[in-house]
Amino acid sequence: MQVRDARQAMLDVAAADGDIATGALWLAAEDCPGVEPDPWLERIDELSLELRDRCGIDGCRPSDAPLVAPLLRDKLRLHCAGGGDPQSHYLHSVLERGAGIPIACAAIWIAVGTRAAIPVEGVNTPGHFLVRVGDLLFDTVAGGEPLGEEDTRSLIGDAIGHKPDRLQQSWLRRATTREMLARMSRNLRGCYTCLEQWDLALRAADRCVDLMPDAPAERRDRGYLLWRMGRPSAALEDLRHYLDAAPASAPDRDAVDEVASRLRAFLN
């Protein structure tokens, strides 16, 4: 399969706000040779049938959401893994090994739950991705019980370094498929940058730009990455785009402008 074909398939899923598992598996197919989405989607279908069996003869209801976690523990050994291993980010690998970062585990929750008629949706909380069913939030790598507000604030605090006084509404809205795929790609960009696997880091950065073309920050971050990779012309193009598109009040304008000036001087 051509890398570009996998990218376009992922973008098509994002444009339709489609199935997150399908989109995440196309993302994996772009980076991981030999990955085909269909066998892994069949595995998700099997898990959803198992969930329906556990819900009972009347089928699954939103109140059955706490059954998802024990099912995925039993069948996948699903648990939280650190983000330093790229395999913890890719959905096929999490389905195979059971070890995943929170957003990858959340994608499995969403895919399995929705196929079983439990309306699970992602929630783009900072630092630690959650899911919601109705008014209840769940940590997909915890025991499966609903989180109270205090628990949620503590979880976010552990991730960002300080416990917020209250939960901001912007943190609690539904994450679209596009937003989830972009967050997955940002995580991979950071992971591969730390590992100095520059080609894969750049591919993830390219995905971020393709998924969020109206977000100047994605061009800025790709520009910084290109700068580190020794590609000054491409870096300058991205940083110029950011400076043209970002608001005048952006707190990092001066820092970005300084880097862009250094790149211009280097290229002249």
212 and 182 Cβ atoms separated by less than 8 Å? yes
Neighbouring C-beta atoms of residue 32, cutoff 10 Å: 15
Closest CA to 201 of 227, 177, 175, 178: 227
**What residues pair up with 133 in beta bridges, in sequence order?**
120, 136
| pLDDT over 60 (residue 116) | yes
High-pLDDT (> 70) share of the chain, %: 99
| pLDDT over 70 (residue 3) | no
Neighbouring C-beta atoms of residue 162, cutoff 10 Å: 8
What distance in Å separates the CA atoms of residue 142 and residue 128, rounded to the nearest whole number?
12
| pLDDT over 60 (residue 1) | no
**What residues pair up with 121 in beta bridges, in sequence order?**
132
What distance in Å separates the CA atoms of residue 264 and residue 261, rounded to the nearest whole number?
5
Neighbouring C-beta atoms of residue 229, cutoff 10 Å: 15
Q: What is the pLDDT of residue 158?
A: 85
**What residues pair up with 123 in beta bridges, in sequence order?**
130, 174
Per-residue pLDDT of 64-107, as tens digits, reads: 999 999 999 999 999 999 999 999 999 999 999 999 999 999 99
Q: What is the pLDDT of residue 144?
A: 76
Per-residue pLDDT of 151-208, as tens digits, reads: 999 888 887 888 888 888 888 899 999 999 999 999 999 999 999 999 999 999 999 9
Largest CA distance in the chain: 73
High-pLDDT (> 90) share of the chain, %: 83
What distance in Å separates the CA atoms of residue 201 and residue 236, rounded to the nearest whole number?
18
Q: What is the pLDDT of residue 2?
A: 55
Query: Which residue is associated with the tokens 């967050």?
Result: 183
Neighbouring C-beta atoms of residue 5, cutoff 10 Å: 12
Neighbouring C-beta atoms of residue 206, cutoff 10 Å: 17
Closest CA to 260 of 150, 180, 233: 233
Q: What is the pLDDT of residue 58?
A: 86
Name which of 26-35, 148-157, 195-204, 246-255 the model is least confident about: 148-157
| pLDDT over 90 (residue 109) | yes
* Ordered domains of the chain (ranges, CATH): 3-172 (3.10.620), 214-267 (no CATH)
What distance in Å separates the CA atoms of residue 37 and residue 9, rounded to the nearest whole number?
11
Sign of CA dihedral 59, 63, 65, 71: negative
- 160 vs 35, higher pLDDT: 35
Count how many residues are written for the chain: 268
Tokens of 170: 């912007």
Per-residue pLDDT of 223-245, as tens digits, reads: 999 999 999 999 999 999 999 99
The amino acid at residue 107 is A
What is the pTM (predicted TM-score) of this model?
A: 0.95
What is the average per-residue pLDDT within 48-76? 95
Sign of CA dihedral 70, 74, 75, 77: positive
**What residues pair up with 99 in beta bridges, in sequence order?**
79
From residue 213, give the alpha-carbon distance in Å to each of 31, 49, 76, 174, 242. 21, 37, 35, 20, 11
